[in-house]
């Protein structure tokens, strides 16, 4: 690995599936970045979380930002939600469920703890391969209980991968926001270097140690319009042409980035040095 790898960016997403916020400093806890995916809207009838790959694609047009800085080990503070038409809502207001339910024509409930049996939906054919009929799975399969992560609590991506996709698809306005990482690592050289990180430990700054697990599979999320970015229908196909990875039981899937578990918590800052421990 290059000696000059550093943290290029830090992102958290206060409400699952809504646009997030870039921060200069974050506290990494055993449950991910403090404040990351602290809330989610759940469809009461089906006990499924709002996932932009299905009925909740419109969530990508809503921006979620904290009214005050979240703290590790403390309940998440209120979140300010800005709708596509500029209306501002707060998670603390008593009618927040009704306001979002009306907009999405579903009975939605805002919650800060994943209820038992909560599922996440997938379009047919995107989980466990094209021939699979599987369209749902338990949420947070590799993350702490009660969290709202699709699989794991930390997601990293390298700038060389993003730069490569930008060059390959300039018409698609490729931007790191399409991939919803927590930590962006400044990398040089080959794209999809994250594939080689799986199974390795990395130290970030003075305290944090992560254990990389598996490459991050991609779905239609990366093609959706959001925050000034147009739809990019060819992007997912391009990723599939360049980086299909065998993920075992879930099949061979297009991947960008890598998931990680937290071994040692602590603060991280933009510009922190990266040290590979094995």
**Residue pair 127/235 in contact by the 8 Å Cβ criterion:** no
275 pLDDT more than 90: yes
Q: What domain range is 175 assigned to? A: 7-276
Tell me the mean pLDDT in the region 24-29: 98
pLDDT at 140: 55
pLDDT at 55: 76
249 pLDDT more than 70: yes
24 pLDDT more than 90: yes
pLDDT in tens, 168-185: 988 778 999 999 999 999
1 lies in a domain?
no
Q: How many helices (H) and strands (E) does the chain have?
A: 3, 20
219 lies in a domain?
yes
Q: What is the 8-class DSSP label of residue 177?
A: G
2 lies in a domain?
no
**Residue pair 66/35 in contact by the 8 Å Cβ criterion:** yes
Tell me the mean pLDDT in the region 53-57: 75
pLDDT at 148: 87
216 lies in a domain?
yes
Nearest to 254 by CA among 242, 240, 268: 240
pLDDT at 145: 75
Q: Which residue has the tokens 């490459």?
A: 215
pLDDT at 68: 96
Tell me the mean pLDDT in the region 60-78: 95
Tell me what percent of the residues of the chain surpass a pLDDT of 90: 69
CATH of the domain at 167: 2.40.33.20
> For residues 113 and 69, which has the higher predicted lDDT (pLDDT)?
69
98 Cβ neighbours under 8 A, 6+ residues apart:
none
Measured CA angle at 210 (ends 159, 4), to 5 deg: 40
Structurally, the chain folds into a number of domains equal to 1
88 lies in a domain?
yes
117 lies in a domain?
yes
Tell me what percent of the residues of the chain surpass a pLDDT of 70: 90
131 pLDDT more than 60: no
Report the alpha-carbon distance of residue 181 to residue 157 in Å, rounded.
6
Q: For the packed helices 235-242 and 159-168, what is the interaxial angle rounded to 10 degrees?
A: 120
pLDDT in tens, 263-272: 999 999 999 9
191 lies in a domain?
yes
């Amino acid at each position: 690995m290059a000696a000059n790898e550093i943290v290029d960016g830090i992102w958290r997403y206060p409400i699952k599936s809504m646009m997030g916020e870039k921060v200069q400093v974050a506290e990494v806890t055993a449950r991910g970045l403090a404040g990351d995916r602290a809330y989610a809207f759940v469809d009461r009838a089906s006990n499924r979380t709002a996932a932009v790959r299905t009925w909740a694609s419109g969530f990508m047009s809503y921006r979620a930002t904290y009214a005050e800085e979240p703290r590790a080990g403390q309940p998440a503070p209120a979140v300010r939600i800005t709708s596509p038409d500029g209306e501002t809502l707060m998670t603390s207001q008593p009618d927040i469920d009704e306001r979002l339910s009306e907009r999405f024509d579903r009975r939605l409930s805002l919650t800060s703890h994943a209820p038992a049996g909560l599922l996440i939906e997938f379009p047919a054919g995107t989980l466990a391969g094209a021939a699979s009929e599987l369209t749902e799975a338990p949420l947070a399969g590799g993350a702490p209980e009660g969290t709202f992560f699709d699989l794991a609590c930390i997601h990293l991506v390298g700038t060389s991968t993003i730069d490569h996709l930008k060059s390959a698809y300039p018409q698609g306005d490729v931007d790191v926001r399409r991939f919803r990482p927590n930590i962006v690592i400044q990398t040089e050289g080959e794209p999809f270097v994250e594939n080689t990180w799986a199974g390795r430990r990395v130290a970030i700054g003075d305290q944090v140690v992560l254990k990389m697990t598996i490459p991050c599979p991609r779905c239609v999320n990366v093609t959706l319009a959001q925050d000034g970015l147009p739809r990019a229908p060819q992007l997912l196909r391009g990723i599939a042409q360049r980086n299909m990875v065998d993920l075992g039981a879930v099949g061979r899937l297009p991947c960008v980035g890598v998931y990680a578990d937290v071994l040692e918590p602590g603060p991280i800052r933009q510009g922190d040095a990266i040290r590979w421990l094995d």
